[in-house]
Structures are given as C-alpha cells and as structure tokens.
Structure 1
Amino acid sequence: MTTTAPPADVADVSTRMSRREVLQALSGLMVGMFVSILASTVVANALPRIIADLNGSQTVYTWIVTSELLAMTATVPLWGKMADLYSKKLLIQLSLGLFVVGSLIAGFTPNVEVLLISRVVQGIGAGGMTALATIVMAAMIPPRELGRYAGIFGAVFGVGTIAGPLIGGLLVDTSWLGWRWCFLIGVPFTILSIVLLQRTLHLPVVRRKFKIDWLGAVLITAGVCTLLIWSSLAGNKFAWASGWTAAMVLGGLVLLALAVFVESRAAEPIVPLDIFRNRTVSLATAASVLVGVAMFGGTVFLSQYFQISLGKSPTVAGLMSLPMIFGLLVSSTVAGQLITKFGRWKAYLVAGAAVMTVGMLLLGTIDATTSVVVLSIYMAVLGIGVGMLMQNLVLAAQNDVPAHELGATTSVLTFFRSMGGAIGVSALGAVLASRVTSLTAERLGPAAAGGGSAEVPDLSTLPEPVLRIVQDVYGTATADLFLVGAPIALLALIVVLFIKEKPLHTLSGDERRAQEEAAAKAATH
C-alpha cells in the first residue's frame, strides 16, 4: 500500500506544463490582468473631462475610481474561495465576461449614475481576474521558478496601474475618440484574453463536495463596503468626528466581527482564519494593505496635479507618468530574475519598502513650480520601490502555506491590497477635497471654496490671478497627500523587516497538492 505514493508524485511532476505551455497560458493571463488593472486607472487623466461633460463634482471624481476598487475589493475573497472549488479556467473567463459587460455599459453611459453602476460591474470582473491570475500562476509554476514569472507579472500589474493615465490622456485628446474609449478600449483585448485562455490554459479540476459560506461572504462584503463608503464621505459630506462617522464605523466593525464569528464556524469559510496563524501570511497581509494605501492613494491624484496645478494636457499628463512606469517595470523584472537565480527574496522586500518611503517623502515636497525633471526623478524612485515590493509579498506568502491553501492565501493578500488601495483613494481623496476647500477659502474667500463640493475647476475659464492661486492650491494639497502616505510606507518597511525568509519550493502548487494528498492517504492506511 505504501508503494503507491511515490509513483503518484513522479507522475504529477512529469505532467508539469512545459515552459512553452506556461508562456502561452501566461500570455492570456497577462492580457486579462493588464486590462483589468487598466480599468482602475485609465480614467485618471480623463476624469476632469468626464466630470465636466457629465456635470459631476469633486466627490463624484473620487467615486468613479473608488466604486470600481470597492467592488473589486469586496468580491476578491469569494473569487479566491471559488478557485479552490470550481474550474479556475471557467472562473477567469466568467470574470473577464463581466468586465466586458461593465466596460460596454460605461462606454455608452448617459450620466454619472449609470457610469458608477458600470464601474461596479467592471470591479466585480476585475476582482476575479486579479485574484485568479496569481492563483493560476502558483498552480502552474513552482515558487523557486515563480520569481521569474512573478517579476514579469508584477511589471504588468504596475504598468497597468500607472500606464492607464497615459492611455486615457491620449484617448481624451484624440478628437475622433474621446473619453468613452477609455472604457471601450479594453473590450477587444479582454475578448482576446478569453480566447487565449480557452486554447492554452489546461489545469486539473479538483471535484469534491463543498458548501460555500454565503452568509460569511455577505457579511464581509457589507462590512468592507460600509467602512470604505465612510472613508470616502467623511470630511466631505459630514465631519470626521460626527454621528455619521460613529454609526458607519461601528456598523462596519460589527458586520466584520459577525463575519469573523461566522467564518470561524463555517465548514468552508470564505477566508480561512487559520491562515493568519502563519506569521508570513499575517505580515505580508499587513504590508499589502499599507502598500495599497500608499501607492493607490498617492498616484491616482498625480494626474489631476499634472493637469490642474501644472496646466498640462491629458496626453502630456500621461507621458509624465512614464518615469514611474519604467522604474516599476525595471525593478520588478530584475528583482524577479534575481530571486529565481539565487533563491533569496527578503532583501528585495526590505529595499523596496525603503525606496518606496523615500519616494513618497520626495513627492511630498512638490508644488506648482516643481520642474518636470525633478518630478520624473521622484516618480522613478517611487516606481522602483513599489516594483521590488508588491508582487514579491505574494510570492513570500505562497511559498509558506500548504498547497490546498494557495487560493485562499492569494485572494486574502489581493483582497487586503485592494482594500488598502480603495481606502487610500477614498480617504486621501477626502483629504484632498478638504485641503483644496480650506486653502481656497484662505486665498479667495469662503464663497470660492463652495463648501467642499465645488466642481473641479475648468482652468480655461479662470482669470490669470485666480488661475495661479488655484494651481498653487492643488500643488500644495497634492504634496500633502504624499506626506500623509510617507509614514504609511515607513510602517510597511517595519512590517517587512519581521518577515522570516524561507527557502523557495521547487514544486508547483498542483504538484505540492498531489504530494500532500498522497501523504494524507498513506497516513490513513
């Protein structure tokens, strides 16, 4: 009886996907990941034009970004859980299909309300793609080899995050296209991804009896959404210290506490709480939240700074983000290659967090007169730090958990990083609106501030003296956001220092799972 386990292991190793098969499947994953991440940021440079055309306010400006991040964040744990129960290939194609539907609705939206609904649909699809892509990678590729691919994947994630403003700016400034193509441009690429994955992705489907914890899923989603909505509205629609704040924070925490109670007793929890007993997972999760807050919270508003404070066109504003893209692309790829070659990864986490902190501090010194060269250097520094840190946090956690927990672990990390991003965008967006209002009131009087909900200014309609004041106000307010983000990045560095480095596995997730199941069967006989 005991002689059956080794042949099973050998058989599983021998059926590992070849490098060519892996690259073919990854091409589809990367296209899907790119357009999903692009959806979060492609509207950044287009937002001033969108808001003007649809008669939106500064609050709506933030919500067009936040609603997509909110839906993506809230649904990631459910996607991750389903990946352990259903066909990963089918789930990825479903998520991409939802993304196509949301993109089409957004592209033809008649008003802000429909646009916000379409962004939620996009977010649900993007949540599935961002969670499942990394899970599929871990199933196909051993952690020892994953560094090479994770570096490329991290670069795709980063480029999608930061290249969005450039693509959006080009589309807005092209008269025969316009801002609606910021949403429609992803449709053909998403369909291409579905076709590629149908042809190239071949993973075994583990069939077993299961019961999804729908109550836990609802409680988690409701709790997270309540807190994120509060962080978006506080300081704008109502004071940070107010009855609304108390009610929403208390309500969100109660819902999450109930979710923990339900999850601790569920046979098939959405988020298995025992994975947090793993020190690496807990620390990587905390760091992922902080990275999300710092990166998304700061960079989303850079494009507004470029256009309003520096007076650049959407296309030029997009081009100005290239130093950050290149910094992230180079550092993520090089770090991934070095990790695969030498098998060491912690040094890149520590260096990345340190460089990210420096980048945030440098960007905290900008104003309406900062030169493009100086800005480019500062953004490149931030990109280099994020590139070394972000994807390798996932690699460290995946390497330190049993194969049957890969899906849950990956989705938890993605969930908390997205939640950090949503919190960063909504909370720092509220801080920006508050700072703009208070600085405008100081310089131009209370009437010009508009009570915190004034529309984003149209620079072409402002007289020269007022224009200079508005540009200076937005420059100062944007720098303040990075000064808020810098200690958050520093905290991420402190957390990363406590992660213990462990040797990388040489078997893929599917091979490790086969070994674990074979060992469990052998132990019961």
Structure 2
Amino acid sequence: MVTQTEPSTAERRAILAVLPGLVLVMLLAMLDNTIVGTAMPTIVGDLGGMQHFAWVATSYILASTITTPLYGKLGDLYGRKKLFITAILIFLAGSALSGLAQDMTQLIAFRAVQGLGAGGLMVGVMAIIGDLVPPRDRGKYQGYFAAVMALAMVGGPLVGGFFTDHISWRWCFYVNVPLGAIALFMIMAKLHTPKNTVKHKIDYLGIALLSGVSTALVLLTTWAGTEYAWGSPQIIGLAVAAGIGLGLFLWVELRATEPVLPLNLFTNRNFSLTAAIGFFQGFAMFGAIMFLPLFQQLVQHSSATNSGLLLLPLMFGMMSASMVAGQVITKTGKYRWFPFAGGIVMTAGMLALSTIDVDTSKLTTSLYMVVLGVGMGLIMQIVGMIAQNSVGPKDMGVASSTSMFFRSIGGAFGVSIFGAIFTHTLRSGLSGLPTDVADKLASSGARMNPADLAQLTTEAKTMFGQAVADATATVFGWGVVFTVLSVLLAIFIQHVPLRGGASGASDGAEKELVEA
C-alpha cells in the first residue's frame, strides 16, 4: 500500500488552487438545506398546493440521502473528478428548474433533481480533500469547511428572507447558478485526481436495497407524528420495510464482489465509532438548529430574520472550535480526545439550554449557544477525518459518504423524535385552556408565527409562551441523552497515527489499516 507523505510545495499550490472551488461547492450544498425555509410561506402563496408543501423539503432530503453513499462508492471505483462535475451539473440544473417552477408539483420534482446532485457535493468535497491532503494536514482544511457549514446554517435563512422580501423567492434557487458556474470552472481547470482504469463490477442489487432502506427511513422519520401517527399502519409498514430491507442488504453485501458499502470497514473500531458518534451528533445538532429559532420567535418575540441573527453565537462557537482544532491536529498529529472533549462541551451546552424558560434573556441564550457551538465544532469534521484515516485510499469516498449518511439519518431521526416530544410537551402545557383552543395551538405550534400569536387572548398567549418554553427545554433535556452517548463512544477511539505525519507515523497507520 502506498504511504501518503507531507505534501510538497507544488502539491500545496495545487491544493490551494482548487480549494476556493471546493469551498464554494460546500457552501452551495449546505446553503440549500436552509435557504428555502424562510421563503416557503411566499412560495405556497404563489404556487398553491399547501397540502404538499412539506414535500418541497422531503423530496430534496430523500434524493440527496439516497445518492450520498452511491457517489462515495462510484467515486472510489471510477475516479472522482468526472462524477463530481456531473453532480454539480445536476444540482445546477435542478436549481434553475426549481426557480422556473410554475406549480407545487413541478417544484417538488425539480427539488428532487437538485437532491440527486446534492448527494454528490459534500461527499465529493470531503473525498477529494482526502485524496489531495494527507490526514496529518487535513485538519486545518476541514476546519475551513466546518466554518463554511456553520456560516451556511445561519446565513441560509437570512439570505432566503432577503431574496423573498426584496427580489423574488425564485432567487433562492437562481443564486446557485452563477456561484455554481464559478465553482465548476475552477474544478474543471484546477482539479487533478488519479484516473482509475481498472474494470469493476457494480453492485446493482446492493445499490437498489440501500436506496430502498434509505427511502423507508427518511419517509418514516419525516411522516411519523406529522402526516401519520406513530402507531399508524403507514409508519409501522415503513419500519418493517426498513428492517427487512436492511437484513437483505447486509446479506447481499457480505456476498458481493465489490459491495457498495463494504461491511469489513465496520470491523475497524475507529470507523464504527465515528459513524455512531456522527449519528448521535446529527440527532442533537439538527434538533438544536430546528428548535432554537422557534423559542426565539415565540417566547423571546424575535422576528424570523432576527432569530437567524441570534444564531450567530452558535455559528461563532462552531467556526472557532473547528479552526482551532484543525490547526492543533495539523501541528501535533493528536486527535483522539477532540470528539470526547466536544461531546462533554456539547452536553454542557444541552444541559444549559434545558434550563431555558420564559424569563431567559437573549444574552443568556446566546452564551449557552456558544457553548453548544464549541462542542459541535470540536466533533463535526474531526470524526470525518478519523473515519478517512481508518481506511485505505481505495475506500476514501465510501468512508466519507458513510460518515455523512449516518449523520443525515441521525438528523432525520432527531427532528422527528424531538418533534414528537415537543408536541407532546406543548399539548400538556396547554391543558388548562379550552379543548378546541388547546388542540389548535398544539397542532400549529411549530408553525405559529408572531402575527398569529398577537391574536390570542392574554391568558392563551401567556400559557402558550410558557408551554413552548417548557417544550423546548424538554427537547434539549432529551438531547443530553444523545450527547452523553457520543461521549461514551469517544472514550474507545484509538489513536492511529495520521498518515503524512512525522517519520514512522505513516507506516504505523498503514499497518493498522492492513490489520483492520
């Protein structure tokens, strides 16, 4: 096996030449997860189809989740550059078509096209960095990407609100085209990756089963507690289908010549641990991002735009911690305790946020968010780097995509389960109101806006604010369970020297990979 060494000056120049394009692609991929939310009321007003509006997000998430592991594996088999360019082109086509949509059905379909491309964007960026940069130097670059992710999470709602209010909601999609074209030009001109000339056998059955399992899981977590009750035949059917599909998938992968998801990767302790940590982190992270703006708008009476600005402390904590951690890892080669420390800090942030109530000030909430953000920043990109360092170069793409896949599925489960907890707690807190009023408020809680709130009686308004505060605090209290689980898992991460480090480190890392 070829050992990666520290990049030469020429190699560094090549990395820096393509880095702006990769950063821009990462920004587009993350921005599109958040930019549409603030525009949805206006989109529904223009296009109609209120009963189908949830599918605007679901179709995108579903398509991107299904294709993420496929892009990772196919990139390993056939080379990354052409596949990455194809993903960008599909994403840009979907963006342009979404902006041109004339009804809700078209928008849902075109968002699915966007998702088919988006599945290859983030995994492509991470795998390409894995190809170009040895793990010892990878930390500082992944710190930059974590900063971009944090910026997109907070900036997306702000940009979406600005376009919707001052130009047109269609520019939430059109904006991707010029930015994506610039990134595409940079990638085509500056990216040089190894070409794979070996003939491969594609695992079609594994791809089909993985797609089916992913679809069942995403629909289950999206519909449970919203479209259908948790005990409904539809949700139970999806759960059964996911379980059977998973069993068949594992059976097929154990016998496939070139499995789409090589199960032997999970025999490596670090790879399995980081996948599980990513799953639990997704649980906590997406729950936080979903419910904090709700608390700020309905309890602290912030506007939608201001609630986006109030997430800046979370972004600041994530960016700062990610960049510092990346620099420290590059200089020292030590990474083992970062996921553990990040889990501890995330737990502290979750515990602090579980104490919020109607009297909690915006300053106090901001300080709690900084703590949570620092914990997230110490984990987010580090677990991906550890996963990549746990596998050989031929599995770099599938390692990156598997890490993202587990985080995405964890996020989907987190939003669904935390949403159910939120609604149950909210309904309990409104029990003192007349049944019809309580039912209306409980069913619309997550969609209630300040204008609607102003129309309530003083008694209902006070009780609703208290119930939302209690429900939000309860969600964060449950979030502690998942951050604690990530801490316990992080204890067992082994230190495998990062390839490309000091002398002897690379050999030790390669030996560990071979033995695994």
> TM-score normalised to the size of structure 2?
0.89
2:471 paired with 1:481: no
Partner amino acid for 1:409? A
Per the TM alignment, residue 273 of structure 1 is displaced from its structure 2 partner at its CA by: 0.6
Q: Which of 28, 38, 58 is the matching residue for 2:21?
A: 28
Check whether the contact 2:137–2:330 (CA below 8 A) recurs between aligned residues. yes
CA distance 1:49–1:442, shift in 2 (3 Å): farther
Residue 294 of structure 2 corresponds to 304
Q: Residue deviations 1:431-458, cap 9 Å, x none?
A: 4345445544653423552497548335
2:420 paired with 1:427: no
Per the TM alignment, residue 103 of structure 1 is displaced from its structure 2 partner at its CA by: 2.1
SS at match of 2:77: coil
- Cα RMSD over matched residues? 3.0
Per the TM alignment, residue 84 of structure 1 is displaced from its structure 2 partner at its CA by: 1.1
2:450 paired with 1:459: yes
Per the TM alignment, residue 501 of structure 1 is displaced from its structure 2 partner at its CA by: 1.2
User: 2: CA distance between counterparts of 1:208 and 1:449?
Assistant: 62
SS at match of 2:316: helix
Structure 1 window deviating more from structure 2 (445-454 vs 218-227): it is 445-454
Q: Which of 368, 371, 389 is the matching residue for 1:381?
A: 371
2:75 paired with 1:75: no
Per the TM alignment, residue 212 of structure 1 is displaced from its structure 2 partner at its CA by: 1.5
Residue 495 of structure 1 corresponds to 489
For these two proteins, the number of residue pairs brought into alignment is: 503
Per the TM alignment, residue 459 of structure 1 is displaced from its structure 2 partner at its CA by: 3.3
Residue 523 of structure 1 corresponds to none
User: 1: CA distance between counterparts of 2:264 and 2:232?
Assistant: 36
Q: Residue deviations 1:276-320, cap 9 Å, x none?
A: 110110001100111111101221232233333333222211111
Query: What is the identity percentage for the equivalent residue pairs of Structure 1 and Structure 2?
Result: 36
Residue 239 of structure 2 corresponds to 249
Residue 191 of structure 1 corresponds to 181
Check whether the contact 2:220–2:238 (CA below 8 A) recurs between aligned residues. yes
Check whether the contact 1:293–1:420 (CA below 8 A) recurs between aligned residues. yes
2:439 paired with 1:449: yes
2:506 paired with 1:506: no
Larger relative contact order, structure 1 or 2 (CA cutoff 8 Å, min sep 6):
1
Check whether the contact 1:45–1:304 (CA below 8 A) recurs between aligned residues. no
SS at match of 1:241: coil
Residue 149 of structure 2 corresponds to 157
Residue 285 of structure 1 corresponds to 275
Per the TM alignment, residue 243 of structure 1 is displaced from its structure 2 partner at its CA by: 3.7
SS at match of 1:231: helix
CA distance 1:187–1:62, shift in 2 (3 Å): same
Per the TM alignment, residue 403 of structure 1 is displaced from its structure 2 partner at its CA by: 1.7
Check whether the contact 1:236–1:434 (CA below 8 A) recurs between aligned residues. no
User: 1: CA distance between counterparts of 2:229 and 2:278?
Assistant: 28
CA distance 1:303–1:50, shift in 2 (3 Å): farther
User: 2: CA distance between counterparts of 1:13 and 1:130?
Assistant: 24
Residue 85 of structure 1 corresponds to 77
CA distance 1:13–1:475, shift in 2 (3 Å): closer
Residue 202 of structure 1 corresponds to 192
CA distance 1:380–1:308, shift in 2 (3 Å): same
Structure 1 window deviating more from structure 2 (210-219 vs 47-56): it is 47-56
Q: Unmatched 5+ residue regions in structure 1?
A: 521-525
Residue 99 of structure 2 corresponds to 107
Check whether the contact 2:222–2:412 (CA below 8 A) recurs between aligned residues. no
Check whether the contact 1:44–1:304 (CA below 8 A) recurs between aligned residues. no
Q: Unmatched 5+ residue regions in structure 2?
A: none
Q: Residue deviations 1:179-203, cap 9 Å, x none?
A: 4333332222112111111111111
Per the TM alignment, residue 131 of structure 1 is displaced from its structure 2 partner at its CA by: 0.8
Alignment of 1:404-419 (within 5 A): 404-419=394-409
Per the TM alignment, residue 384 of structure 1 is displaced from its structure 2 partner at its CA by: 0.6
User: 2: CA distance between counterparts of 1:244 and 1:347?
Assistant: 43
Q: Which of 350, 359, 363 is the matching residue for 2:353?
A: 363
CA distance 1:98–1:438, shift in 2 (3 Å): farther
Check whether the contact 1:324–1:382 (CA below 8 A) recurs between aligned residues. yes
Per the TM alignment, residue 108 of structure 1 is displaced from its structure 2 partner at its CA by: 3.7
User: 1: CA distance between counterparts of 2:55 and 2:376?
Assistant: 25
